[in-house]
Structure 1
Amino acid sequence: MRIIIANYRYFIAGGPEKYMFKFMDAAEKMGIEVIPFSVNNPRNEKTPYSQYFAKPRSNQLMYADTKKSLGNLVGMVRATVWNYDAEKRLRRLIRDTKPDAVYILHEVNHLSPSIIRAAKKEGVRVVHRISDFFMFCPKYDFLCANEICEACLHGDYRKAIEHKCVKGSKAGTLLRVMAMKLYAATKVFDDVDQYICTCEFSKNKLIEGGISKDKITCVPTFIDATSITPCYEDDKYFLFLGRMAHQKGTIYAIEAMKYLRDTDYVLKITGQISDSEEDQKIWNYIKENKLEEKIVFTGFKHGKELRELISHSTCIVCPAIWYENMPNTVIEAYAYGKPVVASRIGSLAEIVEDNKTGLLFEMKNSKDFSDKLRKFIDEPTLSMTLGINARCKVEKDYAVEKHMNSVIRILEGK
């Protein structure tokens, strides 16, 4: 079997790229040829297929790095709405390689849904994996002013425009809304043969948004747990993994530590405080509440250091305030034999089994959060008990073979 995997980055920048490279490795071990299609960028991994990659919409692939020159902005508009260059190049790649299917991960704003139409014009099966809510929310995350908002779910974008939801820009929001209306008018997403969601929550949201349930299959993500040795001991600290973004709810983890001053436990956060306004607010909160000794910023960790940090934690915390779409953090924690304490929201309430593989708390309720964390302090064996369950779950539900077999069947149209 030969497939093209399409993603707007061909270097690791987040969850979709981690999944992409893991999928490619696993597929190749199964004897499946995987051909990448992406946007040209100096950070890309080497591949002989880069000659087919689309031109970048500007000189940078990260919005924050993009110089807002007239030429770059025109390029961004073209790529955001309908990228004719990507469409043309994918059609040429399909003709030259004759794949059995195109597996799309993330195309919005760079490759654009033009690649869906390109594959369809060439008569190739299209499977689209959904990792956020870009089809229905201009901002992708169903958040407005840090509150859950589904006002745009059924195509009414007035609130998004009013609140300048796309990067605080009215022009940016209007551009995104214009693109979404174009996709609805051209019915380009109808050209997708099958959608893959990672959890039932996301699947139900797609159905609410008008996608036929017959075109959606739930296939959880995967991890090679056999390469990870679980550790059921801990060094008395709770661990927050990932970037400190408002939707990740970092502040609620910090607030929870106010109620645990009487304990020896600390909260460790991978990363460091930056000069951004949001990070400075967090740092000021820590100082004002004299929590410097309870909050430890470890700096960014990779490889062995990160593995050891996870292995010796009491639990991993996920205080998200948005509909997390099955974050890798949870699955990785399970593989290390670590329970997860998470907000009762979205997919987190689905994949964290309360009192079995972790604990759930009321979203944004730092007191309830701290009460759940205190359980690990009051019951020293709780971390091990839940951690063993978590490891069993990851081996059963998120195994490489299970995931790959499911996805390959979908790509084959079976």
Structure 2
Amino acid sequence: MRILSVHNRYQIRGGEDESRQAEERLLREMGHEVEVYEEHNDKIATMSSLDVASRTIWSQEAHQIIRQQLKKQTHDIVHVQNFFPLISPSVYYAAKDEGVPVVQTLRNYRLLCPNALFFRDGQVCEDCLGKFVPLPGIVHGCYRESRVASAAVASMLMVHRTLRTWTKMVDVYIALTEFARQKFIEGGFPAEKIVVKSNFVHPDPHPGQGEGGYALFVGRLSVEKGLDTLIAAWKQFQIKVPLKIIGDGPLADSLAEDTKSMPHIEWLGRKPMSEVYDLMGEAMFLIFPSNWYETFGRVAVEAFAKGTPVIAANIGAIAELVEHNRTGLKFTPGDSADLAAKVQWLLEHPQELSQMRQEVRVEYETKYTAKQNYCRLMEIYELARSN
């Protein structure tokens, strides 16, 4: 099978990029030919605001390039990982012009929410969900804190809702969790076209021993990731177990200041994945304090693969991944007292924590290996080809 993978990269690599690359590697390992058409947001710096807005709605350049690629060789699937902003939905039309089925992975909520997060002013926001005109997103400048840029995103959404692009031009959508699937259905997407396929961890990093005697956070240092809740739990309730934090982001400076007066918290900055896995495998547990509707929660599944239980905020997709009292614990989002209580409970119940280590590894082996993911992806591709 020959697949054209289409992706628009951001300046900062994140979980979306890692998951896409893992999928492409897996397909190649299984003998499929994978070509990649990629644009990078670095290009935006050389473009006028009008050009960017225009390309966000319809990129004639991407349309022509993709058609040419599809004309040169027969492809079985065009798999769109992310078209925003420089590739645009014109990719769907290019594929349909050449008679190639289209699969779109829904790695964020961009098609429902201008900032793609359902998150504004430090809390969940669904003001644009289900609205034909996402006016609140424009008023609040939800994309790049700019009303002009937000209007360009809103225009893209409205134009393609008018054209019925989302209904007619995509054969199958892949949601990463049932939670995310339901959000897109609420937003008006056809339920029969949305299937669920999770991300996966490959190659298997193998479990650690969990003997490091510390808690671990891995992720972007930003408001939506719940870092403030995490720090408050350690600061206000004097949790004695050390906390290691891996990551970087806009809250880095405030975190650096906090750690000066908190010897139990160690900020390690960015680390290569091999070191992250080593630290993850030796952690007592991983904390996932997110305040927004994650579409998946890759870090949690990586922790499962390493045999490390997860204390997660009971919100969005991450709440779907973590089973309370089996693969970890759940706490009320934004509630540092509840988080501290869950941490303390695990510290006081070593036998239950040990049992959780076994259960999370079973969860990984049952749901999140390359084998299960590959079989599911092939089912989805066949479904798209039969539509």
Query: Structures share a fold, TM > 0.5?
Result: yes
What does 1:49-198 align with in structure 2 at a 5 Å threshold? 60-61=42-43, 66=45, 71-155=47-131, 156-190=133-167, 191-198=169-176
Change in CA separation of 1:21 and 1:79 when aligned onto 2, cut-off 3 Å: same
- Give yes or no for contact 2:309–2:327 (8 Å, CA) kept in 1: yes
How far is 1:300 from its partner?
A: 1.4
Larger displacement relative to structure 2 (253-262 or 167-176) = 253-262
Change in CA separation of 1:9 and 1:351 when aligned onto 2, cut-off 3 Å: same
CA deviations on 1:89-141 (whole Å, 9 max, x unpaired) are 00000111110111111111121111011111111100111111111100101
CA deviations on 1:286-316 (whole Å, 9 max, x unpaired) are 56xx4x2121111211144222211111111
Aligned with 2:244: secondary structure? strand
- Give yes or no for contact 1:267–1:295 (8 Å, CA) kept in 2: yes
How far is 1:11 from its partner?
A: 9.9
For the pair 1:271 / 2:247, whether they are aligned, the reply is yes
CA deviations on 1:130-162 (whole Å, 9 max, x unpaired) are 111111100101112121111111124222222
Amino acid at match of 1:220: S
Amino acid at match of 2:242: V
Counterparts of 2:279 and 2:208, CA distance in 1: 11
What does 1:9-408 align with in structure 2 at a 5 Å threshold? 9=9, 13-39=13-39, 60-61=42-43, 66=45, 71-155=47-131, 156-190=133-167, 191-224=169-202, 227-261=204-238, 263=240, 265-271=241-247, 278-284=251-257, 290=261, 292-408=262-378
Counterparts of 2:184 and 2:3, CA distance in 1: 25
How far is 1:177 from its partner?
A: 1.0
Amino acid at match of 1:84: Q
**Structure 2 residue aligned with 1:47:** none
Aligned with 1:137: secondary structure? coil
- Give yes or no for contact 1:361–1:369 (8 Å, CA) kept in 2: yes
Counterparts of 1:19 and 1:392, CA distance in 2: 21
CA deviations on 1:32-79 (whole Å, 9 max, x unpaired) are 11111112x6xxxxxxxxxxxxxx7xxx25x6xx36xxx432332232
Amino acid at match of 2:297: P
Counterparts of 2:57 and 2:140, CA distance in 1: 21
Larger displacement relative to structure 2 (353-362 or 116-125) = 116-125
Amino acid at match of 1:93: Q
Counterparts of 1:130 and 1:303, CA distance in 2: 24
- Give yes or no for contact 1:103–1:411 (8 Å, CA) kept in 2: no
**Structure 2 residue aligned with 1:51:** none
- Give yes or no for contact 1:28–1:34 (8 Å, CA) kept in 2: yes
Counterparts of 1:400 and 1:174, CA distance in 2: 40
Counterparts of 1:252 and 1:12, CA distance in 2: 24
Counterparts of 1:150 and 1:5, CA distance in 2: 30
Q: Percent identity?
A: 28
Amino acid at match of 2:266: V
How far is 1:404 from its partner?
A: 1.1
- Give yes or no for contact 2:256–2:267 (8 Å, CA) kept in 1: no
Aligned with 1:384: secondary structure? helix
Aligned with 1:206: secondary structure? helix
Aligned length: 382
- Give yes or no for contact 2:215–2:243 (8 Å, CA) kept in 1: yes
- Give yes or no for contact 1:357–1:387 (8 Å, CA) kept in 2: yes
Change in CA separation of 1:117 and 1:381 when aligned onto 2, cut-off 3 Å: same
**Structure 2 residue aligned with 1:5:** 5
Change in CA separation of 1:285 and 1:11 when aligned onto 2, cut-off 3 Å: closer
How far is 1:228 from its partner?
A: 1.9
TM-score with structure 1 setting the length: 0.87
Aligned with 2:350: secondary structure? coil
- Give yes or no for contact 2:245–2:265 (8 Å, CA) kept in 1: yes
Amino acid at match of 2:319: A
Aligned with 1:38: secondary structure? strand
- Give yes or no for contact 1:260–1:374 (8 Å, CA) kept in 2: no
Aligned with 2:48: secondary structure? helix
Counterparts of 1:93 and 1:162, CA distance in 2: 40
Change in CA separation of 1:217 and 1:313 when aligned onto 2, cut-off 3 Å: same
Structure 2 gaps of 5+ residues are none
Amino acid at match of 2:224: Q
Larger displacement relative to structure 2 (314-323 or 396-405) = 396-405
Aligned with 2:316: secondary structure? coil
Counterparts of 2:5 and 2:292, CA distance in 1: 28
How far is 1:376 from its partner?
A: 2.1
